[in-house]
Amino acid sequence: MSSKFELPKLSRRSLLKATALAGVAQVASPFVVTSWAADVVKIGMDNCLTGTYAATGKNEIIGAQLAVDQMNAKGGILGRKVEMLVEDSTSGDAGTAVQKARKLIDRDQVNFILGNVNSALAQAIANVAYEKKILHIVPGGHTDTITGSNCHWNVFRVCNTTRMQTNSISKVLFEKYGKKWYFITPDYAFGHTLQQGFEASLKEFGGTKVGGDLVPLQTTDFSSYLIKAQAANPEVIIVLTSGEDMVNTLKQAVQFGLDKRFHIAGAQQELEALNGLPPEARIGSWVFEWYWKQPNVPHVAEFVSEIRKRTGGHVPTARTWFGFASAWTCALAAANAKSLDSVKMAKALQGFKLPPEIALMPKDTVYREGDNQLMPTLYVGHAQAKGKDDPEDLFVVDMEVDGSKAAPSVDQTGCKMTWPA
């Protein structure tokens, strides 16, 4: 399906109608409207503003707000002004996330819902969105089931699945750093599916799992887990925590000197975590899902510049891009469906390629038909203590992986899409 996005042209009749409703209408350019139809289009964001994922959740909101501002500068969605309403889901309470989703849908009457960083919360929100038949874009909840065995016709995901991440880096870790792995895994859906992916690769390659621990979310003291990892004498310690938990894991691993004896690695790494670490703890091999330093990719420099203006000079992270691409997906769906009907918009996104100014990636970035999973580029590389030209250049990309090649097939995901009659 084409990725061309054209804002709807206003006919004289519709323009006069907008004038009557708003009192005045001025057209600054063929596609920029300075007076709006009476009704606004509402995007609801149900995301983490407090807890271990607060930094990542807030960055998704920053990216989404930039997208909303750009939409409004170009005529909004179907000629209507766009507003974003934000609710704090917390970082780990599914009940709160569901309550906030119902508020956004039932009371605030949003047209779209976005969220969540936490995979379990994202799945809970997806179930509410399915019940309410509203388009749900998941910016950054990674567990496989969201676009796998628990997939829904109205739920689309921007970030990678956990299996895409593990498939992109497992062979590198096995061939370069060793066959004996120990796991430190957060004890919820995201961590479970990450470890399952790594274990599948390890079995395929003929390696050995020498041990592992499931760690409660928002753990601060990792000493007992690190002592057990050291005693197991692995070649690679696979760290699957994220957010503040990742920061605490790596800080303490370096304090114990484990980085001198074993290779530290994992799947998902994020700039928020690397920024929160002292230079000596910025270690290991990881997967980034988007990186701000892509000098040969069109439009990235402009995106970085816009985000710097909004964040006191800080560069965008993958989370910023997740929010940006998720919010723009709402506008693109409506524009291509020429409607705010959820079924029509979901149909319009089947096989849809994000335009380059939204994708900001070196390869085609497409919503796969059949499971609604975006197929972006994955960036495999290693952390670095300090950036040469910028203090936030803390990751070196060693290899780019095409998401469509890292992803299991739709059949393998277990997604059985059922559409409304």
- Asked whether the predicted pLDDT for residue 31 surpasses 70, the reply is no
Percent of the chain topping pLDDT 90: 90
pLDDT of 25 strictly over 80? no
Q: Higher confidence at residue 15 or residue 359?
A: 359
Cα–Cα distance for residue pair 185/321, rounded to 1 Å? 26
pLDDT at 4 over 80: no
361 within a domain of the structure (yes/no) = yes
Among the listed residues 392, 166, 190, the one whose alpha carbon sits nearest the alpha carbon of residue 272? 392
Q: Quote the pTM value.
A: 0.90
Residues 262 and 386 in one domain: yes
Task: Enter the tokens of residue 252.
Answer: 């303490």
Where does 341-394 show beta strands of DSSP type E? Answer: 366-367, 374-375, 377-383
Q: pLDDT at position 9, please?
A: 35
- The Cα–Cα gap between 342 and 145 comes to 22
Please tell me whether residues 209 and 224 are part of one structural domain.
Answer: yes
Confidence at 18, pLDDT banded by 50, 70, 90: very low
Mean pLDDT along residues 47-75: 97
Residues 98 and 235 in one domain: no
Residue 6, in any domain of the structure: no
Residue 253 makes CB contacts below 8 A (sequence gap 6+) with: 222, 226, 237, 239, 259, 264, 281, 283
Average the pLDDT over each of 10-14, 130-134, 176-180, 415-419 and give the range with the smallest value: 10-14
The whole-angstrom separation of Cα 238 and Cα 284 is 10
Model pLDDT, residue 38: 72
d(CA 106, CA 348): 25
What integer best gives the mean pLDDT of the chain? Answer: 92
Specify whether 400 is located in the same domain as 267.
yes
Amino acid 19: pLDDT: 31
Same-domain pairing of 366 and 400: no
Residue 3 lies inside a defined structural domain of this protein: no
Does the residue 148 lie in any domain?
A: yes
3-state class (DSSP) for residue 74: coil
The 10s digit of each residue's pLDDT in 295-327 is 999 999 999 999 999 999 999 999 999 999 999
Give CA angle at 201 (200, 207), nearest 5°: 100
94 and 143 within one domain: yes
Residue 16 belongs to a domain with what CATH number? 3.40.50.2300
Structural domain boundaries enclosing 274 = 163-288+380-406
Q: Does one domain contain both 26 and 118?
A: yes
Query: CB under 8 Å to 198, separation ≥6 — which residues?
Result: 166, 170, 181, 183, 238, 267
On whether both 394 and 254 belong to a single domain, the answer is yes
416 domain-assigned: no
Smallest CA-to-CA distance from 88 within 123, 50, 59, 62 is with 50
Domain assignment of residue 7, yes or no: no
Q: What share of the chain in percent tops pLDDT 70?
A: 91
Best CA proximity match to 52, nearest among 218, 190, 269, 189: 218
Same domain, yes or no, for 75 and 177? no
Cβ(208)–Cβ(180) under 8 Å? yes
Would you place residue 112 in the very low, low, confident or very high pLDDT band (cuts 50, 70, 90)? very high
What pLDDT, on the 0 to 100 scale, is given for residue 421?
A: 85
Q: Which residues, at least 6 apart from 40, have a Cβ–Cβ distance to it below 8 Å?
A: 80, 81, 82, 83
What's the structural domain count of the chain?
Answer: 2
- The count of C-alpha atoms lying within 13 angstroms of the C-alpha of 247, restricted to the half-sphere facing its C-beta, is 17
In a domain, 4, yes or no: no
The strand order across the sheet containing 155-157 reads 82-88, 41-47, 112-114, 135-138, 155-157
Residue 31 and residue 180 share a domain: no
Residues 231 and 246 both lie in one domain: yes
Q: Tell me: do 128 and 270 sit in the same domain.
A: no
In a domain, 273, yes or no: yes
